[in-house]
Structure 1
Amino acid sequence: MIVTPECVAPTGCALGEGPVWSPTEGFLWWVDIKRAKLHRYNPKTGNTRRYDLPIRASALALHDGCLLMAGDQEIGLYDPATEAYERWCTLSDEPETNRTNDGGIAPDGSFWFGTMDDREKDAQGGYFRLGPDRKLTQLRLPSVMVTNTMQFSPDGRTFYTCDSAEQEILAFDHDLETGTLTGRRLFASTYEFGGYPDGSAMDSEGCLWTCLWDASRVVRYRPDGSVDQVITLAAPRPTSCTFGGADLKTLFITTARVGMSFPALDSRPLSGSLFAIHVDVPGLPARGFGVGG
């Protein structure tokens, strides 16, 4: 089954990322990493708004009416109402060229996120956990080139992540009591599509929707790793996705235009836009930071 999303916000982001749906506001929030911008989309009016950020935020999470954000080499809290930013903690032992990348909320309310070499030359990206008590710890996972996807199955017992450069989606067994990860295994390879796995979203049936950079596709993978559905985009570099809308049946997809040649941009002018499509299976409600269960 192949369906086509529509562009709902032609924002021309250099590197659109980190979409999160706020059900209380009815807004979709996302960032443009390279330009240090925060974007907001209101589906009811079709209006967008852009905010300047003090960091190159790469991942967002909801927290007490504000946005928890990972960016550069730190974690902080941003209040869109006042445009005030509060730094919470910094990554003290990361390589100088590293920055944060994707992130997500675990079943216990902690914020999991990864880092990557911003030059995309060395496999020195790591994984971190920010607990509800704001304690930052590094997860014991192998270093990768580009960390992406921080998603958990509906029951919280499986953790999914991507080693983007290797075109692999990985799965781990997740202990709900201790947060320990075991049983590292290959969940799916994206080599057949010619794309690189980027950000993902989980639906209520336990299927993982993953954006494939350079393949113009978002793929729905069943829990056994098989392909169920493929969405094609008018932009070659989808970066991440999330579910929104009152029924959580709207899949929002962020895209990028960074690194594309002028001829490529001429042929794909909607690159960097926000896309949306109605799907049959709803997503999972966004967890807030510090809210377990």
Structure 2
Amino acid sequence: MIITPECVAPTGCMLGEGPLWSPSEGFLWWVDVKRAKLHRYNPRTGNTRRYDLPIKATAMALYGGNLLMVGDREIGIYDPSTEGYERLTALEDEPEGNRTNDGGVAPDGSFWFGTMDDQEREAQGQYYRYSADGKLSQLRLPSVMVTNTFQFSPNGKTFYTCDSAEQEVLAYDYEADGNNLTGRRVLADTFSFNGYPDGSAIDSEGCLWTCLWDSSRVVRFTPDGDVDQVIVLAAPRPTSVAFGGDDLRTLFITTARVGMSFPELDSRPLSGSLFSVRVSVPGLPGREFGKSD
């Protein structure tokens, strides 16, 4: 089944990323990585607001009314009410050309995120875990070019991630007590769509909605790796998705315009916008940093 979303915020982000639904506020938050901006969308009114950030944030999590952020090569807390930012820790051992990328909250309440070579030349991206007690540790996973997708199955036993450059969606068995990842396997590849897997979100049936960069599509992978639904956008570079709304049946989609030529932008002027679409299966309630399932 093919679904067509609508543009709800024509913000023209260079690299829209990290959509995050706040149920207490009824807002959708996301960032424009390249411009170091934070965006907020209110679906009740259709209004948007933009904030300046001191870092080029790439992923976020709710944290006690504030936003936990990773960006550049650090982790910090941003308070939208005061527009104040506090750095918590830096990634000391990352190569100079690396930056953070995607991230998400694990069942134990820790924040998992990845890094990448900002020039996308070397496979030197790493995976990290940041716990509520302030401990930062590196996950023992192979280095990749572009780390994307940090999602867990509804029962918390499977971790999904993407090696974007290899066009593979990966799955691991997850043991919460030891934070061990085993049983690496390829859930699906995206060669047939001519796209690169980017950010994802899990629905209540355990299916993974994954953005396909350069393919104008978001696809729904079943736990067996089959595709049963496809969203086609008016923008070629979808980056990430998040479920929102009172019933978690609204799927929000961020997009990018970075790297597109002027003729491409003329033909796809909504690139960099925020899109939304209603889906039949609701998503899962978002996890908050520091709170376990």
TM-score range, shorter chain: over 0.9
Shift in Å at residue 200 of structure 1?
0.1
Residue equivalent to 1:259? 259
Residue equivalent to 1:117? 117
Residue equivalent to 2:8? 8
**Rounded Cα–Cα distance in structure 1 between residues aligned with 2:251 and 2:262:** 29
**Superposition CA RMSD, Å:** 0.3
**Rounded Cα–Cα distance in structure 2 between residues aligned with 1:199 and 1:261:** 23
Post-superposition, which runs of at least 4 consecutive aligned residues in structure 1 deviate over 6 A? Answer: none
**Rounded Cα–Cα distance in structure 1 between residues aligned with 2:275 and 2:134:** 33
Residue equivalent to 2:149? 149
**Rounded Cα–Cα distance in structure 2 between residues aligned with 1:244 and 1:100:** 25
Secondary structure of the corresponding residue to residue 264 of structure 1: helix
Residue equivalent to 2:198? 198
**Rounded Cα–Cα distance in structure 2 between residues aligned with 1:192 and 1:89:** 41
Residues 28-47 of structure 1 aligned to structure 2 (within 5 Å): 28-47=28-47
Residues 111-190 of structure 1 aligned to structure 2 (within 5 Å): 111-190=111-190
Residue equivalent to 2:55? 55
Matched residue type, 1:138:
Q
Secondary structure of the corresponding residue to residue 116 of structure 1: strand
Shift in Å at residue 41 of structure 1?
0.1
> Structure 1, unaligned stretches of length 5 or more?
none
Shift in Å at residue 258 of structure 1?
0.2
The number of residue pairs the alignment matches comes to 293
Matched residue type, 1:101:
N
Matched residue type, 1:178:
G
**Rounded Cα–Cα distance in structure 1 between residues aligned with 2:225 and 2:17:** 24
Residues 65-84 of structure 1 aligned to structure 2 (within 5 Å): 65-84=65-84
Shift in Å at residue 3 of structure 1?
1.1
Secondary structure of the corresponding residue to residue 259 of structure 1: coil
Matched residue type, 2:285:
P
**Rounded Cα–Cα distance in structure 2 between residues aligned with 1:70 and 1:44:** 28
**Rounded Cα–Cα distance in structure 2 between residues aligned with 1:20 and 1:147:** 18
Shift in Å at residue 55 of structure 1?
0.1
Residue equivalent to 1:97? 97
**Rounded Cα–Cα distance in structure 2 between residues aligned with 1:29 and 1:59:** 10
Shift in Å at residue 134 of structure 1?
1.3
Matched residue type, 1:210:
T
Q: Deviations over 1:41-99 (max 9, x none)?
A: 00000000000000000001000000000000000000000000000000000000000
Shift in Å at residue 176 of structure 1?
2.0
User: Residue 245 in 1 paired to residue 245 in 2?
Assistant: yes
Shift in Å at residue 232 of structure 1?
0.2
Matched residue type, 1:68:
L
Matched residue type, 1:168:
E
> Structure 2, unaligned stretches of length 5 or more?
none
**Rounded Cα–Cα distance in structure 2 between residues aligned with 1:13 and 1:242:** 17
Matched residue type, 1:262:
F
Secondary structure of the corresponding residue to residue 76 of structure 2: strand
Shift in Å at residue 177 of structure 1?
1.5
| Fraction of identical pairs, as percent | 76
**Rounded Cα–Cα distance in structure 1 between residues aligned with 2:228 and 2:180:** 29
Shift in Å at residue 31 of structure 1?
0.1
Q: Deviations over 1:170-229 (max 9, x none)?
A: 000000221100000001000110000000000000000000000000000000001110
Residue equivalent to 1:236? 236
